[in-house]
Homo-oligomer: A and B are copies of this chain.
Amino acid sequence: MKEEGVIAAEPMNGGGGAYSYKNNSYYQRTGSGVVKEMIDEAILEKLDVNKLTCGGSNAFNIVDMGSSVGPNTFIAMQNLVEAVSRKYQAETPSTKHLLEFKVHFNDRCTNDFNTLFASLPLKRKYFAMGVPGTFHGRLFPKLSLHLAYTSYALQWLSRSPDRCLDKNSPAWNKGRIHYARAAKGVQDAYAAQLGEDMDVFLGARAEELVPGGMMVLIIPGVPDKIPPSRLPNSLIYELMGSVLVDMAKRGVISEHQVDSFNLPLYTISPGDIEAAMERNQCFDIERLEMMSTVKAIGRPMDWQSITKHIRAGLETIISKHFGSHIIDELFELLCEKTGDNFEALEATYMDKNQLLVILKRK
């Protein structure tokens, strides 16, 4: 049987515990907050709300793709609803029709929607829906969305490249779990997977969005021309890989388990987006910009918090591959290693670490 890459079908940690995404998503929340004004501005200047909603039910349909369980998504969705409402009032000051909002929270089937629904703000100004399924594929009927948003989700590939499991391929990724500090062949396989995934993602959204509809992508990113080995998370994944190799040597897990595990995560550059847009041709780029979230986070780098954030995001996918019994040990050892390598980790720090993309459907 041909071996297959790691499929990114596992959700962020559910519930509300110490390692939950709910309690370990501060960095993502800050990142989304940094771009609030830019999104507001794009909606004010580029979104023709009245035209999009006239002649139907006066409903405005929004989706957050990869919403996880909250609370970040609730803040972001309220901001969007308020911005679109303001624009609509500015466009149609004398209208008696009130705009009604439908907000769709999308994430994989295995996302903890029960926690999401239980946490919905009571005084929300929208009708809330949950949409289970991958955004690497169609989620909605054609022409049924006005505004599609995603924050800190597009770095997930649909799967890690199958080729990285083939011993005879230059993409064989023995003893590592990520592309950033791996061989060129591995890096190429990951880049090809990103290209495929972006094409599917943009193709699906192009069908779902009405002409004039808008798409906002907030992605952990990297400026153009930075070599993969210098990516912000490259060292921490390298350390995680070496912890796993050590655990394999001690027989806690098998060597084959390590070799067959590759994180389906990719750090996207502006050039990656431009290339995908060039292939897709259905959108105009309204904004494409690298920015810094570091000042907004407003506290010094703290590797314990970063390790907890990484655990909230990766625990389920690691558990599925290696078994949940290794999680505590893995993250304790990783925490030690990050302490030992503090200076080298600091050196991977990059001021411009987030990509904002605003697109408009032609």
- A positions within 8 Å CB-CB of B: 56-59, 100-102, 104, 109-110, 112-114, 117-118, 120, 127-133, 138-144, 210
Is A141 a contact partner of B127 (Cβ separation < 8 A)?
yes
Count of identical protomers in the assembly: 2
Is B117 a contact partner of A109 (Cβ separation < 8 A)?
yes
Question: Nearest chain-B residue to A145 (Cβ)?
Answer: B57
Is A58 a contact partner of B141 (Cβ separation < 8 A)?
yes
- Known contacts A56-B56, A114-B112, A117-B113; is A100 also within 8 Å of B131 by CB? no
Is A120 a contact partner of B127 (Cβ separation < 8 A)?
no
Is B57 a contact partner of A143 (Cβ separation < 8 A)?
yes
Is A59 a contact partner of B142 (Cβ separation < 8 A)?
yes
Bound-state Cα–Cα, A93 to B133, Å: 32
Bound-state Cα–Cα, A319 to B117, Å: 21
Contacts of A101 in B (CB 8 A): 141
Most buried by B among A56, A100, A109, A117: A117
Is B113 a contact partner of A57 (Cβ separation < 8 A)?
no
Bound-state Cα–Cα, A117 to B129, Å: 13
Is B129 a contact partner of A131 (Cβ separation < 8 A)?
yes
Q: Which of B59, B110, B117, B120 contacts A144 (CB 8 A)?
A: B59
Contacts of A141 in B (CB 8 A): 57-59, 100-102, 127
> Told that A58-B141, A102-B140, A117-B132 touch, could you supply 13 new A-B pairs with CB distance under 8 A?
A57-B142, A58-B142, A59-B141, A59-B142, A59-B144, A100-B141, A113-B114, A117-B130, A127-B140, A127-B141, A128-B131, A130-B130, A130-B131
Smallest distance from the beta carbon of A126 to chain B beta carbons, Å? 9
Question: Nearest chain-B residue to A98 (Cβ)?
Answer: B142
Contacts of A109 in B (CB 8 A): 117-118, 120
Most buried by B among A104, A110, A129, A133: A129
Bound-state Cα–Cα, A289 to B357, Å: 56
Smallest distance from the beta carbon of A234 to chain B beta carbons, Å? 34
Bound-state Cα–Cα, A241 to B24, Å: 47
7 smallest beta-carbon distances between A and B, as pairs: A59-B141, A57-B143, A100-B141, A130-B130, A117-B132, A113-B113, A129-B129
A-B CB contact pairs (8 Å), 26 listed: A57-B142, A57-B143, A57-B210, A58-B143, A59-B142, A59-B143, A100-B142, A101-B141, A102-B141, A102-B144, A104-B129, A109-B118, A109-B120, A113-B114, A113-B130, A114-B114, A117-B130, A117-B132, A127-B138, A127-B140, A127-B141, A128-B133, A129-B130, A130-B130, A130-B131, A130-B132
Contacts of A130 in B (CB 8 A): 113, 117, 129-132
